[in-house]
Amino acid sequence: MKKYIVLLFISLFGFAQQTPAPKQSKSILILGAKAHLGNGKVIENSLISIIDGKIANIGDATVMKPAKHDIVIEASGKHVYPGFIAPNSTLGLVEIDAVRASDDESEIGQFNPHVRSIIAYNAESKLVETTRPNGVLLAQITPRGGRIPGTSSIVQLDAWNWEDASIKTDDGIHLNWPRSYSRAGWWAEPGGIEMNKNYDPQVKAIQEYFDNAFAYLGSKNTKKDIPYEAMKGLQSGEKTLFVNANGEKEIIDAVLFKKKNNIKNMTIVGGYYAFKVGALLKENNVSVLLNRVHSLPLLEDEDVNLPYKNAKLLVDAGVLVGLQNAGDMERMQTRNLPFYAGTCAAWGLSKEQALQLITGNSAKILGIDKQYGTLESGKSATLFISEGDALDMKTNIISFAFIDGRQISLESHHTELYQRYKGKFEQQKK
């Protein structure tokens, strides 16, 4: 029996992550591509110089005279984009849902701010490498479960281990806000809406936990409390409080909670009805990471296209908006992130505004915008070259991708299978 178990695990994990690229050693020049900067601007005929992992220079190729580089990539007719960012992701925390030993996304207990997702991150996950051929090169690795699941960190998706992958550790605390109501029944036969009679006590329990944590942090305790220690940085702005909430009441209560507790940075995760309180969010500098765009409306009498329009409604209200992908099969679906942005472009936003949802805006929300998210001189050379529009699944065909100036592999288990079965059918034609 043990022999068969070993064989099963070999078959499940037999395909390892592609070998991470070595540090950039040669200067690279990308010429002629249409550069989408990730801040709403475009350079039609661009020149991008990459030296020592940074963008040394970027501008109009018709004006700038390129210096000599070791490698020149002629990219006329192609497009250059900043690496896409996947916030609120469980990539690398779960490999196969049905294999318990590969599932490390949550801990027992309700209040776990000290649980650090980064140390459970598996940089050699097969699922991580499937995101890169579509341009997703960065992710916020986020725990799940409980009222406070823990602390997230941000990684680049081409590394030997979590230490190499980390670009910002312990960036934020995640809080699952209680629901004021719930729906009875199940998805095939939904029932009515039921009020949550425990909503107020649940909110009170959150407030008490924060009161105790901040009281501890403001005192001179000789005995360390590790969970409370993890709450340090929320009031100073070193960490962001990411609040999972969708309802209008829940979002309003979360904003009031921010003000009451002097929390500097807050982001609403989910935010299905955030558009109803856009002015409140803007006034209090609260950003939103929207639910998966390719979803059905929450209520049967709502506009079926509301999930597609949500981003446009919030952008028009002046709210800083990004996209995230939590939900069923979320790790496998991470590769579809650019196409969610493309759907937002089809429903009101311009293509460059939609691009910002997964580049510049997400970088600002996650606090990594000084180095990532846009194509600018001095920033990390984390970018890719696409044959066409990267927000369209028909034309998102990536020929080169770089993380911190390192040219990374675009191969994955998926591409290996594609080549294998393509060869099979070519043999059958002969």
Tokens of 314: 């919030």
The pLDDT of residue 14 is 46
The pLDDT of residue 187 is 59
SS3 labels along the chain: CHHHHHHHHHHHHCCCCCCCCCCCCCCEEEECCEEECCCCCEECCEEEEEECCEEEEEEECCCCCCCCCCEEEECCCCEEEECEEEEEECCCCECCCCCHHHECCECCCCECCCCEHHHHCCCCCHHHHHHHHHCEEEEEECCECCCECEEEEEEECCCCCHHHHEEEEEEEEEEECCCCEEEEEECCEEEEEEECCCHHHHHHHHHHHHHHHHHHHCCCCCCCCHHHHCCCCCCCCCCEEEEEECCHHHHHHHHHHHHHCCCCCEEEEECCCHHHHHHHHHHCCCEEEECCCCCCCCCCCCCCCHHHHHHHHHHHCCCCEEECCCCCCHHHHHHHHHHHHHHHHHCCCCHHHHHHCCCHHHHHHHCCCCCCCCCCCCCECCEEEECCCCCCCCCCCEEEEEECCEECCCCCHHHHHHHHHHHHHHHHHC
Q: Stretch 364-390: mean pLDDT, rounded?
A: 98
User: CA 167 to CA 149: how far, in whole Å?
Assistant: 21
pLDDT band at 5 (very low <50, low <70, confident <90, very high): very low
Query: 28-32, 95-99, 334-338, 345-349: which range is least confident on average?
Result: 95-99
**217-260 pLDDT, tens digit each:** 999 877 899 999 999 999 999 999 999 999 999 999 999 999 99
The pLDDT of residue 366 is 98
The reported pTM is 0.92
Task: Please report, for the chain, the start and end positions of each structural domain, with discontinuous segments joined by +.
Answer: 17-83+374-430, 84-372
The pLDDT of residue 87 is 98
pLDDT band at 158 (very low <50, low <70, confident <90, very high): very high
Name the average pLDDT for the chain. 92
The CATH homologous superfamily of the domain defined by 17-83+374-430: Urease, subunit C, domain 1 (2.30.40.10)
The CATH homologous superfamily of the domain defined by 84-372: Metal-dependent hydrolases (3.20.20.140)
Residue 122 has pLDDT above 80, yes or no: yes
Residue 189 has pLDDT above 70, yes or no: no
Residue 9 has pLDDT above 70, yes or no: no
**42-77 pLDDT, tens digit each:** 999 999 999 999 999 999 999 988 889 999 999 999
Question: Percent of the chain having pLDDT more than 70?
Answer: 94
Q: Stretch 28-46: mean pLDDT, rounded?
A: 97
Q: Stretch 348-368: mean pLDDT, rounded?
A: 98
